[in-house]
């Protein structure tokens, strides 16, 4: 029967320079689908406890889902994972773009990279054939230079690649993997793992269409969504991308300002996506086969020359490299984002780490001698641009900041730990947990450290209108029917958080994009039409529970405990001004919410360890052997 996956897991050992293909079988793919589940399975079974994240025992897993590569909007995402060099725990990041579709259409469902090469290499994958090629001539090059050189070398401009720049080569702990020049698998330091293996790129070209069990249903749903987006269902996302109406973030307190310390920023409106596009935008682009053109492209000549091939900044980038650093110069913020893409750095990690250093500098914990003469004060746009480059090349203070805020704070000492906005070692995204209490729970319990993509943005839970309560579409179909207070951290908020997060992690297993407004019912139709299965919504949600539980076990095995499920110190107090000047989260109330979440997940209340019954119910009883005794 034709279906949307090949049952081919590609394994490349860079130490032995061997290539093998495994066939896990259809039950494996239906149990896991792809993404987080495949990553967690490999990490638990194949990476030894205590392994060095930057050593050859770690494994890098590229894990598209069973929907990746089909010709409908949002089906070009995939996940990549490893033991994180930033957190020391479960590492995973999701990305769109073009490479994932090419890889699936080249005949494979997942890629496990193990060992480490003696000299730089890249992988060349085309229509079922795999080659390990010399990349010594590519080492040190930016992502744009790398892409151009590989395409010229292989003689085809249609080749797409997952790759690293100098940030990944130099093993910056929050280095990302770039899918092309605009799309980043940004969080948890996957680019550093790739660099540690001396793997410069994975170049792919698939010339064969990807089949489906019911291709007519796929085509019909694809047409329907494309028409809906053209009719306006995509909202402002299709016109400006993320970050429209930034002033609302200032009024509510959600926009991080000066390292999450302050609540007011003059000219913050300059950072709004519509202003970006009005002043320096040249158009919008999108991922492979997607009708939602949600990616900004910007161009300017001064005060910095911008290369439009790198696209433009989205909300997370201009929040981290802009407002969090006290900067509102959109050209400088765009240049810093461009450098992150060129050097393969997570723009969130880079921006929040620079903001941390700025606060250390203003409080005398870092000096001009430490910064090589850079006036590292909030609001200095040139300093942000310079520090991105220094971090990527581990030059001067950049070598320390390349370690992330948690490690840097430990080395700086004094009050530096109070300025480190991180959970489990990963820097905060651009959403304020003192405002969004669902995010507060999410940052605390996320297996990857602070992350907004699989957390619960709960302000919509307080809204009512003429039609009654209209909450997030991810939770209403699951029975979350009544509004709740924004500041609540009670069981009703935990329940809504759990349902929302499980749904989002399930999506990270399929893997499909959150920006395309598919309903759960439509996702099930797409999934079953693609695979020929009869998956129910109930089975779909079990994907997320399974992935979260496996990731939890991995972290427990690596030494994490319930004590690590907490926020940065600053989140327990107010901002200096603005909407959250009387804010702050009660640590005891949040701690109780965390333990209620454990119980709702079927984990032990005190430790958060999944119970034997939960593992059996999720069909992963084998994972019990990896729990600490």
| CATH number for region 9-205 | 3.60.9.10
Strands 422-423 and 426-427: antiparallel
Whether pTM > 0.85 for this model: the answer is yes
Q: Which residues pair with 262 in a beta bridge?
A: 257
3-state class of 297 per DSSP? strand
- For residue 470, the model assigns a pLDDT of 56
- For residue 525, the model assigns a pLDDT of 97
3-state class of 55 per DSSP? coil
- For residue 204, the model assigns a pLDDT of 98
* Cα separation values, 390 from 198, 341, 372, 396, Å: 21, 14, 10, 7
Report residue 183: phi and psi, to 5°: -120, 130
Report residue 11: phi and psi, to 5°: -120, 125
* Joined tokens for residue 39: 């990553």
3-state class of 228 per DSSP? helix
CATH architecture of 234-427: Orthogonal Bundle (1.10)
Write the pLDDT tens digit of every residue in 176-202.
999 999 999 999 999 999 999 999 999
CA-nearest of 420, 421, 321, 340 to 380 is 321
- For residue 613, the model assigns a pLDDT of 98
- For residue 388, the model assigns a pLDDT of 98
CATH 3.60.9.10 domain position(s) in the chain: 9-205
Report yes or no: 101 and 290 within 8 Å, Cβ to Cβ: no
Report residue 296: phi and psi, to 5°: -70, 150
Angle between helices 215-228 and 520-531 (to 10 degrees): 150
Write the pLDDT tens digit of every residue in 368-394.
999 999 999 999 999 999 999 999 999
* Cα separation values, 231 from 225, 234, 311, 486, 496, Å: 10, 8, 25, 32, 31
- For residue 475, the model assigns a pLDDT of 73
Give the whole-angstrom CA distance, residue 617 versus residue 627: 17
- For residue 472, the model assigns a pLDDT of 55
Give the whole-angstrom CA distance, residue 171 versus residue 193: 7
CA-nearest of 42, 5, 46, 47 to 25 is 5
CATH 1.10.569.10 domain position(s) in the chain: 234-427
- For residue 235, the model assigns a pLDDT of 84
* Cα separation values, 222 from 511, 522, 525, Å: 16, 10, 11
119 Cβ contact partners less than 8 Å away, ≥ 6 residues apart = 134, 135, 136, 198
Give the whole-angstrom CA distance, residue 448 versus residue 508: 13
Q: Is domain 437-626 classified as CATH 1.10.599.10?
A: yes
Report yes or no: 149 and 138 within 8 Å, Cβ to Cβ: yes
Is the bond into 511 cis (omega within 30 degrees of 0)?
yes
Q: What residues in the chain have per-residue pLDDT under 70?
A: 463-474
- DSSP assigned state of 233: I
């Amino acid at each position: 029967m034709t279906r949307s996956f090949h049952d081919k897991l590609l394994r490349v050992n860079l130490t032995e320079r061997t290539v093998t293909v495994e066939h896990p079988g259809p039950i494996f793919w239906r149990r896991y689908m792809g993404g987080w589940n495949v990553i967690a399975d490999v990490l638990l079974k194949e990476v030894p406890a205590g392994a060095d994240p930057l050593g050859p025992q770690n494994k890098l897993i590229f894990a598209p889902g069973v929907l990746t590569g089909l010709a409908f909007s949002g089906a070009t995402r995939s996940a990549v994972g490893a033991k994180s060099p930033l957190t020391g725990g479960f590492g995973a990041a999701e990305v769109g773009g073009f490479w994932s579709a090419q890889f699936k259409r080249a005949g494979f469902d997942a890629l496990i990279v193990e060992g480490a090469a003696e000299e730089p290499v890249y992988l060349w994958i085309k229509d079922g054939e795999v080659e390990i090629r010399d990349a010594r001539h590519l080492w040190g090059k930016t992502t744009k230079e790398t892409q151009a050189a590989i395409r010229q070398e292989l003689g085809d401009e249609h080749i797409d690649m997952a790759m690293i720049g100098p940030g990944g080569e130099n093993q910056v702990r929050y280095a990302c993997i770039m899918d092309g020049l605009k799309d980043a698998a940004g969080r948890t330091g996957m680019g550093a793992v790739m660099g540690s293996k001396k793997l410069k790129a994975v170049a792919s070209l698939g010339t064969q269409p990807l089949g489906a069990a019911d291709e007519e249903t796929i085509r019909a749903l694809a047409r329907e969504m494309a028409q809906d987006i053209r009719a306006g269902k995509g909202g402002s996302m299709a016109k400006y991308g993320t970050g429209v109406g930034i002033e609302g973030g200032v009024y509510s307190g959600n926009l991080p300002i000066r390292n999450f310390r302050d609540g007011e920023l003059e000219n913050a409106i300059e950072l709004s996506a519509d202003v970006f596009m009005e002043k320096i935008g040249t158009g919008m682009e999108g991922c492979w086969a997607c009708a939602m053109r949600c990616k900004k492209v910007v161009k300017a000549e001064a005060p910095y020359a911008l290369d439009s091939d790198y696209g433009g900044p989205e909300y997370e980038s201009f929040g981290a490299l802009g407002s969090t650093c006290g900067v509102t110069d959109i050209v400088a913020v765009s240049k810093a984002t461009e450098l992150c893409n060129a050097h393969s750095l997570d723009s969130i990690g880079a921006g929040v780490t620079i903001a941390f250093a700025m606060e250390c500098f203003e409080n005398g914990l870092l000096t001009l001698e430490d910064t090589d003469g850079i006036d590292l004060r909030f609001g200095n746009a040139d300093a942000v641009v310079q520090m991105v480059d220094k971090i990527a090349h581990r030059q001067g203070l950049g070598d320390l900041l390349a370690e992330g805020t948690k490690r840097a704070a430990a080395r700086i000492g004094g009050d530096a730990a109070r300025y480190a906005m991180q959970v489990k070692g990963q820097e905060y995204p651009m959403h304020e947990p003192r405002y969004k209490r669902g995010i507060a729970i999410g940052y605390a319990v996320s297996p990857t450290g602070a992350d907004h993509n699989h957390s619960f943005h709960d302000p919509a839970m307080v809204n009512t209108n003429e039609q009654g309560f209209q909450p997030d579409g991810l939770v209403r179909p699951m029975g979350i029917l009544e509004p709740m207070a924004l500041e609540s951290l009670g069981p009703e908020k935990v329940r809504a958080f759990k349902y929302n997060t499980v749904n989002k992690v399930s999506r990270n297993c399929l893997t499909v994009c959150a920006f395309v407004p598919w309903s759960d019912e439509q996702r099930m139709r797409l999934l079953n039409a693609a695979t020929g299965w009869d998956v129910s919504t109930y089975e779909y949600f079990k994907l997320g529970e399974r992935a979260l539980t496996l990731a939890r076990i991995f972290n427990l095995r690596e030494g994490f405990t319930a004590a690590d499920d907490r926020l940065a110190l600053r989140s327990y107090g107010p901002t200096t001004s603005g909407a959250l000047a009387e804010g702050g989260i009660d640590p005891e109330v949040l701690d109780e919410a965390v333990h209620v979440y454990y119980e709702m997940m079927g984990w032990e209340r005190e430790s958060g360890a999944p119970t034997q019954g939960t593992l059996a119910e999720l069909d992963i009883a084998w994972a019990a052997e990896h729990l600490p005794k």
